[in-house]
Amino acid sequence: MTRTTLYRFGTLIAFVLLCVGFSIAAPEAFASQANLANLVQQIAALAIVATAATLVMTIGEFDLSVGYTASLSAVICFVLFAAGVDIFISLPLALGAGLVAGAINGILVARFGVPSFVATLALGTIVSGLAFGISGGASLFRLVPDEFKLLARGNILGIPALALWTMLVMGVAGFVLTRTEFGRRLRAIGGNALAARLAGLPVARDVILTFSIAGGLAALAGLLLASRLGSVQHTMGEPLLLPAYAAVFIGTTTSPTGAPTVAGTLLGVAITGVLANGMTIIGVEPFVQRMLTGGIILLAVLLRRIGRAG
């Protein structure tokens, strides 16, 4: 194993060490099947939003609106529930809102050349205002159909539904990115957008499509979170944004070129989730939790830098 490989697997090793450490500190509680079930459910929404971030980062762009879009779709869904609208209408409408928000982001970036950082921040702010307005600022929880609750709370063959959603979304995204023509084009756009365009690739269309998918995934994450909690606040998706990008960045440390990958993002999400879960189990003070989380992200990225330089 060369030094570079060692660093490349450093993040994975760090993850394993974390798990071992927590297992020793709290063998009954952390290393239990029940906690594994908890963990996979706790990280599901984050994993799906982080997948959206991974797709957008593959084309070399950022989407800062994912958290707000997650809130908006959950708010739309629950407002429609409260108005007595059937689940088969309200769910597609809520998901569609996410797709539309994403498509607008994509059009702003691809057709009007607005830097994605600015476009998605601005649209995200508009979306958060919409969510606030539609919800009236109140917590929504009335007339939620039982079928909707099953989306996140059911389980199939003992596997929690949220875990299945995560596997489905990340599995498909991973396959698309690594195995399909579309994924290949996204990597080309992220690698050299001008060269991609001059090679005849439909760059603008693919960029719009990518942002739309990201919006749709954010909406899905918001809906799953709403199903898991049974209630919706118009700010509920916001805390997903920064950890999602932290997860993607942790994940990039595992790829040879520093490009985002779905598998790497999954590892990043897992590290984030295990940290929060494990530290709460062993009762780490909240301020120490934050310092450790930030420190571990830095450490992973630094190790990678040193590994590359060496």
Partner 1 sequence: MTATASGPGPDAGIALLALSGLDKRYGATHALKAVSLALAAGEAVGLAGHNGAGKSTLIKCVAGAVLPDAGAIAVSGTQTRFSSPADAYAAGIRVIHQDAPLVPHFDTVENAFLGRPYPRRHGMVDRRAMTERVAEIARAIAPDLPLATPVALLTPSQRQFVRLIRALADDGRILILDEPTAALPAEDAARFFAVLGRVRDRGTAILLVSHRLDELSGFCDRTIVMADGGVVAECTGAGHTVAAIISAMGGGAPMAKVQRTLPDAPAILALEGARTRSLPVPIELEVRAGEIVVLYGLIGSGRSEVLDAIWGVERLTAGAMTLGGEPFAPRNPGEALDAGISYVPADRHRTGLFADESLVFNTTLPLLSRFRRWPRLPVPSRSAETRAFAEAARAVGLKFGHAGQKVRTLSGGNQQKLLFSRWASRHSRLILLDEPTEGVDVMAKAQLRDIVRAMAGDGNGVLVSTSDREEALELGDRVIVFSAGAIAAEFSRQTADAAALSTAAQSKPQFDPEPA
Partner 2 sequence: MLPRLALAALLAGTALPAFAAGERVALLTPYLSAIATAEMVDAFRARASENGWTLDVVDTAGDMGALASRVEDVTASGVDAIVLVSIDPAQIEDQVGRADAAGIPVITIDGAANDAVALNVTSDNYVLGQAMTEYLFEAIGGEGQIVRLFHSAHPGVRQREIALDDALAETPAITEIGQHYVQVPGQIDDSRNAMDSILLANPGEGAIDAVWAAWDEPGVGAQLAIEASGRDGIVIAGIDGNPQAIELIEACTPFIATVRQGFSQMAEIAAAELSTIFEGGTPEAAELYAPVELITRESLGVTCD
> Which residues of the chain form contacts with partner 2 (CB under 8 A)?
26, 28-30, 32, 34-35, 38, 42, 45, 132, 136-139, 141, 153, 225, 228-231, 233-240, 276-278, 280-283, 286
Q: How far is the CB of 283 from partner 2 (least distance, A)?
A: 7
Question: Is residue 200 involved in binding partner 1 (CB under 8 A)?
Answer: yes
- Binding segment (CB under 8 A) for partner 1, from list 77-85, 116-124, 133-141, 192-200: 192-200
Of 34 and 194, which CB lies nearer to partner 1 in the complex structure? 194
What residues have CB less than 8 Å from 111, skipping those under 6 apart?
A: 204, 208
Q: Choose the contact partner of 84 out of partner 2, partner 1, none; CB within 5 to 8 A by kind.
A: none
Distance CA 23, CA 20 (A): 5
Distance CA 21, CA 26 (A): 9
**Using an 8 Å Cβ cutoff, are 288 and 271 in contact?**
no
Of 186 and 269, which CB lies nearer to partner 2 in the complex structure? 269
Which amino acid, one-letter code, is at 77?
Answer: C
Token digits of residue 205: 């269309």
Question: Is residue 191 involved in binding partner 1 (CB under 8 A)?
Answer: yes
Length of the chain: 310
H/E stretch holding 155 reads strand 155-156
What is each CA distance from 90 to 81, 85, 97, 156, in whole angstroms? 7, 6, 11, 24
Q: How far is the CB of 266 from partner 2 (least distance, A)?
A: 18
Of 28 and 181, which CB lies nearer to partner 2 in the complex structure? 28
Q: By the criterion CB under 8 A, which residues form the site for partner 1?
A: 179-182, 184-185, 187-188, 191-192, 194-202, 257, 259
